Chains A and B, each alone.
Chain A
Amino acid sequence: MAAADGGAPRLEIRSDRLLLVEGRDEENLFEALLRHCFGPAASEDIQIIPAGGKHRFRKNLTAIAAAARARPTLRAVGAIRDADDNALSAFQSVCDALRHAGYDPPSAHGQVSVGDPPVGVFILPDGTGAGAIETLCRRSVAGNEASRCVEAYIDCLKDRGALRSRNEDKTFAHAWLAGTNDPVARVGEGARQGVWDFDSDAFAEIASFIRKLP
């Protein structure tokens, strides 16, 4: 709903199934993933909400929970977050935020609790290793011959001591995006253009998690 004075439109809870992701880029990527894996109506059925970066996630989740309280038909809440350096720590942080907001989190990554509403948590890329959404994107195109060119570029930078980025997956993703038809800056924007292979095994676990939400 747009504000009458022209302010940015307000975020409304409009679905009984919520998928909380970190930011706008993740929102774009997961909307594209939903449409690809579950059909065009999936984004109507599951509402993806950018819940703010990891530092604002707890407060924002409290607000979302307050708003969702006015929706007694709420069926499920899923939370997806990057592991970054430590998947276990990321999982615990998300579960703490869920408990603080009054939700009953699952006991493990990739699982859905039996609370009211049921709540699921997924830590990217796979609940065990370090990484983020860019890790899955890189893995999804690993079978593509052109990916060897990007890997070679990264190796070349390393050999020359010129790789400044601490996140190789992000470096790969941006380099990959730079070679596409209509180069864009973010993985989510690339997802909307069909740049990542959602049918690859890389996205199988996250797709299965989303399918698990009641």
Chain B
Amino acid sequence: MTFLNSFEAVSYRGIDGLSFPHLASANLITGENGVGKTAALEAMWLFTGRYNTGLLWNPHVQRSAKPILDPVSRLAKDTLEIRGTEDGSAHSLKAAFQKVADIDGPKEIPPVPTPENPFMAPPVVACINTELDEIPPKREVGGIHGTPWGSVVFEKPDRPAAKSSCTFLSTRLPVEILNAALQQYSDMVRAKHKKDFTNAVNLILPKVNDVEILADEFGEPYLSAVTTDEVRLPLYALGGGVVQLSQLFLGCFTSRGGVLYVDEVENGLHHSVLAEVWSHARMWMRQWDVQLVATTHSDECIRAAMAAFEDAPDELAIHKLYRNAETGRIEVTTFTGEALEGARDLNLETR
């Protein structure tokens, strides 16, 4: 199982020095707009995915689907550095971009394969040097990422066999999320949890009897809800709440033994269902050994989470990010255990 015990963004996206000394099973990151909640979430995801250098180009991290040559430049001033303790052991990741050839601008990919370039890959123009756990890179090519400006090569460290998958649920890129959801849904059905999925959807739509994969008029597959009246409707058309709930369920399943990162966890969910959603989320987390890290703006979401973990305040942590007016740095204060109980007792503002 992967469990993130603590985390520090040494150099990442304007939250340099932000440190979370203690993470619980369920974590809510709160704070004003622009304080760095999503940045903290991305950084934690990169950390738990540190054996996959290709993650640096991921659209969830880059916040765009447009191609980019140098992913590190958007994430840190020079070298990206993140640290943390995972399963009780300290780890770190440093990543730096280095040019190895002249880069004039976007290039045409060669139209035909050649003996020198059988895969039609753009010429290598740069590399990502990664240092895992302060061990210098071996400078061996493990992977190659093609961009319009040229290829970027990087090492691919050996991923430990016991490493669990960690999933990121973003507020962006719904189409890609939908496609990923079909794969996750299929895996979940094979694991015989289809009824659990329908029960989850029932939290918002009691009339949904079943969920199937159908194909539209273009042959594209999609998830379809079947009601008690045998009416079939695309799941994505049933509202943001159903989509969010489905993603939460599938995200927990897919991240079993690992960490699920969710941006704006309350999105699309009416306040009246949040208590049930959190109660079920806690159950899924236990069932599949999932650690949850989510951002939220919502007071109702926090209240619902507190209620769901009322008997186990050590399992929930609320991390409030704030800008220190004197230093300008982003810092965090955490409510968990006794402090969480006290916050609930006093009805204290934790956002």
Contact = CB atoms under 8 A, between A and B. Distances in A.
Contacts, number: 84
B342 A60 contact: yes
Interface string A47-91: 001111000101111111111011011000000000000000000
B345 A59 contact: yes
A62 B322 contact: no
A59 B342 contact: yes
Interface string B329-351: 00101110011111101111110
B340 A63 contact: yes
Contacts of B347: 8-11
A88 to B, nearest CB: 25
- B320, B331, B335, B346: which has the most chain A beta carbons within 10 Å? B346
A5 interface: yes
Given A59-B341, A72-B324, A64 B299 contact: no
Contact of A70 (B271, B300, B333, B346): B333
A1 B326 CA distance: 25
A162 interface: no
- B299, B300, B335: which has the most chain A beta carbons within 10 Å? B299
B325 interface: yes
B303 interface: yes
A67 to B, nearest CB: 6
A130 B326 CA distance: 43
Contact of B334 (A11, A56, A66): A66
B333 A62 contact: no
A3 B342 contact: no
A161 interface: no
B346 A63 contact: yes
B349 A66 contact: no
A39 interface: no
B348 A64 contact: yes
B335 A4 contact: no
Contacts of A1: 349
13 contacts: A1-B349, A3-B303, A13-B349, A59-B342, A60-B345, A62-B339, A62-B342, A63-B341, A65-B339, A67-B333, A67-B335, A70-B333, A73-B326
Interface of B: 271, 299-300, 303, 320, 322, 324-327, 331, 333-335, 338-343, 345-350
